[in-house]
Amino acid sequence: MMGEIWRDLNSLAEAVAGQPLSCRRKRAALMARVLANDSFAVLVIWRARRKAARLRLPIVGSMLRRVQTTLFGVEIDQRAHLGEGVWMVHPVGTVVGGDSEVGDRVRLMGGNTVGTNTDDGYPRIEKDVVVGVGAKILGPVRVGAGARIGAGAVVLSNVPPGALALGMPARIRPGRYKITRSKGVES
């Protein structure tokens, strides 16, 4: 678990910087910034909950869930899969339910819901996606790498890689963004 937390810390520092970090001084400054952010604390608690579930300690997992929900206003199901560098800019009100998959370096801006209200499947969000404030991604949909979901959008169908999804229900505007390896998504 400590290895996962260390990878999260490095990934989050690089996600905040927008590039790989080589200078120790920059890395230390950004890691201090990441440690002070609620997003990192939420991820540590979520990883501890997953570990408690694997060790068959349901009471510990339940207590950690209450701490996570009470202190940070975030609900992440222990069955959800989060990639490295997932960053919740303003974590309050964020819900990631069930077997949802959130890829590497995804940014959740706050008040997001990723899940479903039926048992027909959960969303899969690929790497380098930005999800705007209050956006909802519901049902068995796939959000392609480098896509952007606008604030308040309700995604009910697949979003292709690099596309922009806006509105309620979300409409797709393809080809607006390109994916780059070092900095994620650029306009």
Residue 153 dihedral angles phi and psi, to the nearest 5°: -70, 150
pLDDT of residue 23: 58
Residue 38 dihedral angles phi and psi, to the nearest 5°: -65, -30
Q: Where are the domains of the chain?
A: 2-186
**Which of the residues in the chain have pLDDT under 70?**
1-35, 174-187
pLDDT of residue 185: 47
Tell me the whole-structure pTM to 2 decimals.
0.76
Structure-token match 């690089």, residue found? 14
pLDDT of residue 182: 43
Residue 148 dihedral angles phi and psi, to the nearest 5°: -125, 135
pLDDT in tens, 57-91: 889 988 999 998 898 899 998 889 998 888 888 88
pLDDT in tens, 146-159: 999 999 999 999 99
8 A C-beta contact, residue 176 and residue 156: no
Say how far apart CA 21 and CA 183 lie, in whole Å: 12
DSSP 27: H
pLDDT of residue 187: 46
Q: In CATH, what class is 2-186?
A: mainly beta
